[in-house]
Amino acid sequence: MIISGFRAKALLVALVTLTGGSAFGYWSYIGYQQREQRELRNEVAALVQDTAVRLRAGLASQPGGINPDNPEALRSLYDHAVMVDGHLKKFRNLDVSSLAHFGDAADDYLLTSREILLRRASTQRYRLKIADDLRSLRKHMRTDNATGAWITAAVRAKEQVDEVYRDYRMASTALRELLQSFPAAQAKIAPHVDAALLIDDSLVNDTHQRIMVATQNTERELDRYANLNRYR
């Protein structure tokens, strides 16, 4: 069959239009995917960025330096931990399979940071509780009347201090282990974020050292009352 020149031209225009439409649709889809991935990366990067800011603030606060009469300082540590926990939950609700290594690194960083902040707040809370219980114990010791009731109350007060101290030691040990693992988590995220977000190893090491000193100081304070065991 011979196709007239007019019909051939019409078919050619239709074919070009169809092909062009398919190509336009394909490139539009590719562009959409790229935009989606950029937005996803930006969203994850924002979670990591806020976490880094909060972690730096939590590490910079002095172990043992929070005034018991200023609960706001201790509350701020828990606020940081709660916010980072929210970041981690939000992150894990995202489909980050397309982010490959960045997604894995972000998960590790967010999780480690949350645990550090949580243990950082817990150790401080336990330490303040120990200090409060020791004040009560010292007050009781100054009223020594050598009666059986006094001895029983003293031993009970010392047991309460020891119980809180066990919790403190567990939280403190976990915190020191987390701080030792943090440089590895940060090294994984480093290629994917602004270098300005990275926390100096010196701050992490200094925090680790200060926590060890705080623990040793607490141990020495408790040792002063170890002789109460003879009343058992």
In this model, does residue 170 exceed pLDDT 80? yes
In this model, does residue 6 exceed pLDDT 70? no
Q: Spell out the alpha helix ranges (H) of the chain.
A: 5-60, 71-92, 101-142, 148-189, 201-223
Per-residue pLDDT averaged across 150-158, rounded?
A: 83
pLDDT above 90: percentage of residues in the chain: 45
Q: CB under 8 Å to 181, separation ≥6 — which residues?
A: 112
Per-residue pLDDT averaged across 214-221, rounded?
A: 85
Q: How far apart are CA 94 and CA 96, in angstroms?
A: 6
The CB density around residue 21, as the number of other CB atoms within 10 Å, is 10
Q: What mean pLDDT value characterizes the chain?
A: 82
The CB density around residue 229, as the number of other CB atoms within 10 Å, is 10
Q: How far apart are CA 175 and CA 155, in angstroms?
A: 30
The pLDDT value given to residue 14 = 54
Question: Cα angle at 16 between 12 and 22, to 5 degrees?
Answer: 145
Per-residue pLDDT averaged across 20-46, rounded?
A: 71
The pLDDT value given to residue 17 = 60
- The class of domain 44-231 in CATH terms is mainly alpha
Q: For 82-130, write each residue's pLDDT tens digit.
A: 999 999 999 999 999 989 899 999 999 999 999 999 999 999 889 888 8
The pLDDT value given to residue 8 = 57
Q: Could you tell me the pTM of the whole model?
A: 0.78
Domain boundaries, the chain: 44-231
